[in-house]
Amino acid sequence: MPDERAVTVWPAGFAAGPRNRRALLVLSALRGLSPRKLLELARREGSADACLTRVIAGRAGSDADTEFARGVDAGALMAALDDCGARLIAAEDTEYPSGLQNLADPPAALFVRGRTMSPRDLSVSVVGARGCSALGREVAKEIGKGLARAGVVVVSGAARGIDTAAHEGALTGISGGAGSTLAVLGSGIDVDYPRSSSSILRSIAERGTVLSEYAPGIPAEPFRFPARNRIIAGLARAVVIVEGADGSGSLITAEHALDLGREVFAVAGAVNNPLARAPLSIIRDGATMIRGAEDLLADLGLASDRPAAMLAQLNLVEGAVLRRLEGPTLPDLVARELGCEIGDVMGILLSLEMKGLVRSLGGRFEQTNLAASTL
- Asked if the model's pLDDT at residue 309 lies above 80, the reply is no
The least confident of 89-98, 142-151, 197-206, 301-310 is 301-310
Per-residue pLDDT for 69 more than 90? Answer: yes
Average pLDDT on 221-231 reads 92
Instruction: Report pLDDT digits (tens) over 327-366.
Output: 889 999 999 999 999 999 999 998 887 776 787 777 888 8
pTM: 0.79
Whether pLDDT at 5 is above 50: no
Lowest mean pLDDT among 4-18, 189-203, 280-294, 326-340: 4-18
* Over residues 288-299, mean pLDDT: 92
Query: In sequence order, what are the beta bridge partners of 126?
Result: 240
The pLDDT of residue 375 is: 62
Q: What pLDDT was estimated at residue 369? A: 56
Per-residue pLDDT at 374: 57
248-270 confidence digits (pLDDT tens): 889 999 999 999 999 999 999 99
pLDDT(229) > 50: yes
pLDDT of residue 3 exceeding 70: no
- Determine what percent of the chain is predicted with pLDDT higher than 90: 74
Alpha carbon distance 82, 54 (integer Å): 27
31-43 residue pLDDT tens? 989 999 999 999 9
Mean pLDDT of the chain: 90
Structural domains of the chain ordered from first start: 17-114 (no CATH), 123-299 (3.40.50.450), 306-374 (1.10.10.10)
Render pLDDT for 161-216 as a digit per residue (tens, 0 to 9): 999 999 999 999 987 567 899 999 999 999 998 888 899 999 999 999 999 999 99
Q: Is the pLDDT of residue 370 over 80?
A: no
Dist. CA 64–CA 77, nearest whole Å: 18
